[in-house]
Chains A and B, each alone.
Chain A
Amino acid sequence: MTAVTALGAHSAAGAAGISVSVRGLVKRYGGTAAVDGLDLEIRTGEVFSLLGPNGAGKTTTTEILEGYRSRDAGEVTVLGQDPAHGGPLWRSRLGIVLQSSPENAELTVQEMVSHFARYYPSPRDADEVIEAVGLDAKRNTRTRALSGGQRRRLDVALGIVGRPELLFLDEPTTGFDPEARHAFWDLVRRLRCDGTTILLTTHYLDEAEQLADRVGIIADGRLLALDTPDHLGGRLAHRARVRWQDGAGAHEEVTEHPTRLVTELAVRHGGEVPGLEVVRPSLEDVYLSLLEKAAKDSGSATTEEGRR
């Protein structure tokens, strides 16, 4: 990973440890529990991705960690503080990129970033931040005239200008074109190299696969699975799909021992196997099968509308 210096190293990376700790978190809206006994730990310096369907409780959980919402039960510590009682000094160590971006239409990119920098005790250089999110050409453009993706990058700029130790990114790349998304991923990697702990909420599983050190899948307000993207789903992730063709048509077999199967096929065909494909399950496959399994287990697949 290169260009680490662009954003300046963290002076107070914090002792290797836990940045966010959640135990038995419960949040109810009316009678229904949006978060229902959630346990979670985010290690200092890692990129942690929270995945889950709409209404699973992702945004509610994130907003409790950010100090926006109260909780009904459970213990929550964010950077050593209970977010329900976090003051300005605590907030100055966080960076928050919300799901939706406000207008502030008549101010320029430069004015917005420079102004937000003033809120923080030791902010990053506004120009560097604008460059880092790729808005240098739009520096003097009023936000009204920015495209959706550019506005989103401005949100990210405002989220990182305070040199946060912990950065919340709530669906940051919605509306990005592929190029902008890759540029954004590079930015996240650089922030991680600087020692920033990142909680990434996303709908894009490839994004989590690319960026996250660990992934948590949440459904019905509970943590369903938690692991590195490679290991998520345990045995499920080790099953491969082997596809090939012969005189009888197309075949497909799911196996835990693809190499053995391919060797057998090679022997059977006396060399090349026509149309051979070995496909490992993507994070998306694992994610979908985990959710399916969870829905079956609970007997009722409640799809509650997403709350913001």
Chain B
Amino acid sequence: MTSPAIHAPSALGLGVARAQIELKQFFRERSSVIFNFSFPVIMLFIFGSVFDGDIAPGVSFTQYFTAGMIASGVFMSSFQELAITIAIEREDGTLKRLRGTPMPPAAYFLGKIGMVLVASVAQAAILLGVGAALFGLDLPSEPELWLRFAWIFLLGTVAGTVLGIAYSSLPRSAKSAGAVVSPVLIVLMFISGVYFVYSELPSWMQTVGALFPLKWLAGGMRSIFLPESFAAEEVGDSWQLPETALVLGLWAVVGLVLCLRTFRWMRRDAG
């Protein structure tokens, strides 16, 4: 070998490059972008128009629902998006081709995380704007509330991302991916305090809901966008922030372990 020392490209640099490519791909698929971004907004309009009553002094159901939709938006653009697109990439051979290159696997996952972060931030911004402009959502002015928003949002996105990557192994084919993935989130939205007020759910349903991350993410968002006084209306008479951090963190770890143990670059039937 006469050539000078050859440096393999770094996983971090390639992760950034992959995030750029993923974002291009994502935003160019116009129909899915429009659907992804408008679905939560449309739900806001429907629920905001139908249920206009207050659920506590000075707190309308719409405010409650907006906080829940912001939480759901995080899981739509992380968990749901990744579980479906990775199942498709596995089936059509995108993953197999990547595996045949020297691209470090970490770069692929970093790229997905980067894409999800950008898409979720964009989605949250849209929801916050619409909620504030039309549905009486109070955007907090205290920096510590925005700091709280940052860590809850980030933890939720990370959990949703790793769980989405892990869940993508479940659909047997790209065709069934939508059918296998979407109902999970819809059911969770019913039992996690998005469509209904959580504290008014039957207690067994609360117990089931509390096992999953969306309930904690929605509660965390309420702690930011609803008046402090509403904490008394929550289960346990508080926002339960330490528990939120714990449960979301646990799910992130579980998701990561599942990813590392079950991720496949080739279809299941491919021996």
Contacts and interface: CB of A to CB of B under 8 A. Distances in A.
Is the pairing of A and B real? yes
A116 B3 contact: no
Given A89-B8, A119-B103, A98 B97 contact: yes
B96 interface: yes
Contacts of B94: 102-104
A92 B96 CA distance: 15
Interface size class, chain B: 20 to 34
Contact of A115 (B2, B3, B17): B17
Interface string A95-110: 0101011111111000
Given A92-B8, A100-B93, A121-B8, A106 B29 contact: yes
Interface in B195-247: none
Interface residues of A, number: 36
Nearest to B100: A96
B172 interface: no
A41 B44 CA distance: 65
Contacts of B88: 103
A241 interface: no
Nearest to A28: B271
Contacts, number: 87
Interface in B107-133: none
Given A68-B266, A92-B8, A11 B2 contact: yes
A102 B270 CA distance: 16
A92 to B, nearest CB: 4
A115 B110 CA distance: 15
A172 B270 CA distance: 20
Interface of B: 1-3, 6-9, 14, 17, 21, 24-25, 28-29, 88-89, 92-94, 96-97, 99-104, 266, 270-271
14 contacts: A11-B3, A60-B271, A68-B266, A88-B102, A91-B102, A101-B93, A102-B89, A106-B28, A111-B21, A116-B101, A120-B9, A121-B6, A121-B9, A121-B102
What are the 3 tightest A-B residue pairs by CB atom distance, in nearest-first order?
A106-B28, A92-B102, A96-B100
